[in-house]
Amino acid sequence: MARLGTCSLTWAALIILLLPGSLEECGHISVSAPIVHLGDPITASCIIKQNCSHLDPEPQILWRLGAELQPGGRQQRLSDGTQESIITLPHLNHTQAFLSCCLNWGNSLQILDQVELRAGYPPAIPHNLSCLMNLTTSSLICQWEPGPETHLPTSFTLKSFKSRGNCQTQGDSILDCVPKDGQSHCSIPRRHLLLYQNMGIWVQAENALGTSMSPQLCLDPMDVVKLEPPMLRTMDPSPEAAPPQAGCLQLCWEPWQPGLHINQKCELRHKPQRAEANWALVGPLPLEALQYELCGLLPATAYTLQIRCIRWPLPGHWSDWSPSLELRTTEWAPTVRLDTWWRQRQLDPRTVQLFWKPVPLEEDSGRIQGYVVSWRPSGQAGAILPLCNTTELSCTFHLPSEAQEVALVAYNSAGTSRPTPVVFSESRGPALTRLHAMARDPHSLWVGWEPPSPWPQGYVIEWGLGPPSASNSNKTWRMEQNGRATGFLLKENIRPFQLYEITVTPLYQDTMGPSQHVYAYSQEMAPSHAPELHLKHIGKTWAQLEWVPEPPELGKSPLTHYTIFCTNAQNQSFSAILNASSRGFVLHGLEPASLYHIHLMAASQAGATNSTVLTLMTLTPEGSELHIILGLFGLLLLLTCLCGTAWLCCSPNRKNPLWPSVPDPAHSSLGSWVPTVMEEDAFQLPGLGTPPITKLTVLEEDEKKPVPWESHNSSETCGLPTLVQTYVLQGDPRAASTQPQSQSGTSDQAGPPRRSAYFKDQIMLHPAPPNGLLCLFPITSVL
């Protein structure tokens, strides 16, 4: 930090030297404090001298902190004619920055003066002060933790004094120890120390914002002595010394020479050279002896060992651990049980293939270098003839004709294991029953059985790939010692989608039972392909399909069901689910002359497979059938029209709108009244020479008395006088009202067309007779 401050001052001086000569003497900055707490406010003022005549009379003073202009400056003119600007920075958040007083000079900002500002924290109290007496350098080395960063140049000083008591009274002072920059440790030379006498030691930290001191440490330099570790090595072999026992190591060490006059104790740690091994601590080691035999280790195992020492019984500090020493323990004879199983060749029964598996009897059973199969001839006492010597877990040999038993041992450089006898006898025991197997997951198989009676002593379970990949050399086997077991989970060498042959043999005393075997898949596969669809019969709206089921396949899960999918030309689909025993299906509800795409899906618990797509088209209807359909449709349409017509005719509500009823003038109420005064206009019939009609009287007809001419046939002429017959009109009575009327200036409309009306032209309109004739006659003739 001091170096940073020096660079900052150098940069400031360089800027001042580069100022124009006419302005470098014009301004001056003064601050309340150049170093403050980080985040505290700071006040600065800039005064422009009066003798700067080349400036404006009222110059505008600007402030800049680093590269940013700062607003808020208050400018005033003092009594002596100088200009002053004061600014207060509320929070100084920069640990180091330059505050500049500036003026606008031409087109640039000219610095008149600037000052460096620093912000930080006072030093924290140093802690974890500890000291060690190094006899190699004959100095007292103390170290501490300085605390958090202050952002300011901070100095640390190791202070100490001599004291004859418990450091309550201060004696002669010891020269201060100042560490190098950035270091938090310092060494007091031997010449400034007084051994076997207490001394007070503390650390003082200081910067521009304050001073702090660590708690005082009172100690005797000899109580904090730290020895150097001894040199650990293996003991030299001696012809007189006994060799080390199995699992033991013989060690010795050389003490550190400057510490020979100091009483000390040592401890040892060791760990095997394997992954994730932990250190094991052994100690304290004997004081006088400089050698040690370490036992209880794993045989034939490489170990890493280290040693360290401490001043004892007086106080002191442990030395560092010595450099590592790597040694290997001796081994002992294998302590294993050998489970055996054998198999005879069918072509040569005296050729035997023997298998075995070592089962450790202890946590560390010793290293095995090889196996030996041997037998004892009956005529040669004490003679052992080897049949096989191998490092594998099997051996094939020719069994001598007189040999009924062989011995198997495991060996290493320390000896052999206990012999395991193997007796070759015929299968005379009972066989187990109901052997079955099933897959638990893709990498395991469960094999179960019913134990025979009497109970066997154990079982031998063999498994390997079944046909067509069967091989006796690649089989895996295991011995189950529990004779009452009813099953076993096979996990070794099990792969999915493979057919395995599993053989179980019961073992009895001096004999065995016949072997039973079963086949099982670790994981079954989906059907490889679905049956092919065939069209058996087809109609206009149906189609009959059939298929031939595929034969069962090894490794394929049995079918659970079929599903038929049908899709038409409009991409509309439907499906049907069938039993696995189905051999055909009839599709109903199809459209005539339509195209369909059909496929079959065969499904099992392991998956599903689709067949190829069958495309078919339903039949087209024939011509006669089309005619019949059209005839039926026309008949149906005709019946519908007749029924609708009958309904409309019989329903009153529907009849009136279509055929309005014409009222009967004979039953009209117009005849019940006679106008009292009627205009007597002349009514002249055209083309007649008779005298004109001068009066038209409306007569009311009695409803019960028919008119004389109503009883005659409509085709006959009304029985009227000749003069009256002249006025008979034919046609619609309402049409007569629309004809032009002579010698009449006005006419009154009679009411609705269904009712009779009278005219002012002295002509009487009577209701029409049934034949549709309207008779007009003069009043005098009627009267």
pLDDT higher for 774 or 181?
181
Dihedrals phi, psi of 292, to nearest 5 degrees: -160, 140
Residue 645: is its pLDDT beyond 60? yes
H or E stretch at 779: helix 779-782
Whether 654 maps to a domain, the answer reads no
From CA 187, how far away is CA 166, in angstroms rounded?
A: 22
Instruction: Name every residue whose Cβ is closer than 8 Å to that of residue 116 and which is 6 or more positions away in sequence.
Output: 5, 8, 9, 12, 34, 96, 97, 98, 99
Cα 547 from chain centroid (whole Å): 44
Question: Residue 302 to residues 307, 340, 414, 710: CA-CA distances in angstroms?
Answer: 17, 32, 17, 150
Q: Which of 18-32, 598-612, 719-733, 745-759 has the highest mean pLDDT?
A: 598-612
Same domain membership, residue 358 and residue 311: no
Residue among 518, 506, 393, 510 at smallest CA distance from 464: 518
Residue that is last in its domain, among 421, 454, 476: 421
Region 150-179: what's the mean pLDDT?
Answer: 85
pLDDT computed for residue 321 by the predictor: 93
Asked whether residue 35 falls in the same domain as residue 93, the answer is: yes
Looking at residue 511, what is its pLDDT? 83
Same domain flag for 566 and 483 = no
Same domain for 218 and 149, yes or no, is yes
d(CA 17, CA 25): 11
Can you spell out the DSSP letters for 536-574?
EEE-SSEEEEE--PPPP-TTBPPEEEEEEEEEETT--EE
390-435 tens-digit pLDDT? 999 889 888 888 888 899 999 988 888 899 988 887 778 888 888 9
If you average pLDDT over residues 265-283, what whole number do you get? 88
Query: Amino acid identity of 754?
Result: R
Please write the tens of the pLDDT for every residue from 438-449: 888 888 889 999
Do 98 and 38 belong together in one domain?
yes
pLDDT at position 652, please? Answer: 63
**What is the domain extent for residue 40?**
23-118
Neighbours of 682 (CB within 10 A): 13
pLDDT the model gives residue 68: 86
pLDDT confidence band for 156 (50 / 70 / 90): very high
- Considering just the CA atoms, what is the radius of gyration of the chain in Å? 66
Q: Considering only residues 373 and 14, tell me which one the structure prediction assigns the higher pLDDT.
A: 373
Note the pLDDT tens digit of each residue in 294-309.
888 887 788 999 999 8
Mean pLDDT of 80-101: 86
Region 715-728: mean pLDDT is 43
Q: Is the pLDDT of residue 623 over 70?
A: no
Residue 624: per-residue pLDDT: 60
16 found inside a domain: no
d(CA 584, CA 603): 16
pLDDT band (50, 70, 90) for residue 269: very high
**CATH assignment of the domain containing 561:** 2.60.40.10
> In the chain, what percentage of residues exceed pLDDT 90?
16
Asked if residue 653 belongs to a domain, the reply is no
pLDDT at 478: 87
2 is a domain residue: no
What pLDDT score was predicted for residue 467? 77
Q: Which residue has the higher pLDDT, 3 or 372?
A: 372
Q: What's the average model confidence in pLDDT over 31-45?
A: 89
pLDDT at res. 192: 82
What DSSP assignment string belongs to 281-334? EE-PPPSS-SEEEE-SPPTT-EEEEEEEEEE-SS--BPPPPPPPEEEE------
Higher pLDDT, 769 or 428: 428
Average confidence (pLDDT) over 677-686 = 45
Residue 670 confidence (pLDDT) = 54
Q: What is the mean pLDDT of residues 147-167?
A: 87
Same domain, residue pair 497 and 585: no
Ramachandran bin of 738, using left for φ above 0, alpha for ψ from -120 to 50, beta for the remaining angles: alpha
pLDDT above 70: residue 775: no
State whether 232 and 216 are in the same domain: no
What pLDDT, on a 0 to 100 scale, did the predictor assign at position 679? 44
For range 721-738, the mean pLDDT: 43
Q: Please give the Cα distance from 341 to 354 (Å, whole number).
A: 6
- Mean pLDDT value of segment 709-725: 43
Say if residue 771's pLDDT is above 50. Answer: no
- 705 pLDDT band (50/70/90 cuts)? very low
With contact defined as beta carbons under 8 Å apart, do 643 and 656 qualify? Answer: no
Distance separating alpha carbons of residues 132 and 556, to the nearest angstrom: 78
232 and 312 share a domain? yes
Q: Which residues pair with 159 in a beta bridge?
A: 202
pLDDT for the residue 263? 82
pLDDT of 577 strictly over 90: yes
> Does the pTM of the predicted model rise above 0.75?
no
555 domain residue, yes or no: yes
Q: Tell me which of 68, 86, 118 is where a domain ends.
A: 118
Same domain, 438 and 411: no
Give the residue-averaged pLDDT of 83-100: 88
Task: Tell me whether residue 396 is in a domain.
Answer: yes
Q: For residue 213, what are the CA distances in angstroms to 219, 278, 373, 616?
A: 18, 42, 81, 102
628 lies in a domain? no
Determine, yes or no, domain membership for 546.
yes
Q: Are 766 and 718 in contact (CB under 8 A)?
A: no
**Do residues 309 and 385 both lie within one domain?**
no
Q: How many domains does the chain have?
A: 6
For residue 227, give the nearest of 196, 254, 258, 198 by alpha carbon.
258
Instruction: Let me know whether 56 and 112 are in one domain.
Output: yes
pLDDT at residue 779, as a whole number: 41
**Of 564, 582, 616, which residue is a domain's last?**
616
Going by pLDDT thresholds of 50, 70 and 90, the confidence category of residue 734 is: very low
539 shares a domain with 494? no
Two structure tokens written together for 342: 């054998």
Contact indicator for 415, 333 with CB cutoff of 8 Å: yes
Closest CA to 330 of 361, 290, 282, 295: 295
